A = this chain, B = another copy of it.
Amino acid sequence: MQEDPMSIAFAEAREAERRGEAPIGAALAREGAIIARAGNRTRGDNDPTAHAEMIVLREAAGKLGEHRLTSCDLYVTLEPCAMCAGAISHARLRRLYFAAPDPKGGAVEHGPRLFAQPTCMHAPEVYGGIRESEAAAMLRAFFASRR
């Protein structure tokens, strides 16, 4: 039985934490098949853009040989930031599933609410709050340990 995409995103988040990164993971699926999976890598890669979402979008587009991912769905453990929400829009993703909302850095349900902006060219269907408490606990523990 294939693992569900959100479980893969959580596994990637825990793996990112083991590497000293923020515990955020993502998986990108098309018609039930996992195309790409990744955790945050900003520190390890010295790359300010290496959020989990960006990595799976880039990898999936490369694998599929397309710069748009119209039939793909993204699963991520935290509400995407403005950078990632912008990339999701550029990639024409079909659906976005996320776990914990992010009142401080999120840009989907918080802050600029990018997909609701009049200038937004493409908005995916959005499903937030999946396994929210599990993701929120992981993030709280991480940030508490760094104070």
Contacts and interface: CB of A to CB of B under 8 A. Distances in A.
Interface of A: 42-43, 45-50, 54, 57-58, 61-62, 64-69, 81-87, 89-92, 103-105, 107, 110-112, 114, 117-121
Instruction: State the main secondary structure of chain A at its contact with B.
Output: loop
Contacts of A66: 46
- Protomer copies: 2
Given A48-B91, A83-B86, 10 more contacts: A45-B67, A46-B66, A47-B61, A48-B58, A48-B61, A48-B92, A49-B58, A82-B89, A82-B114, A107-B112
A91 to B, nearest CB: 4
A3 to B, nearest CB: 26
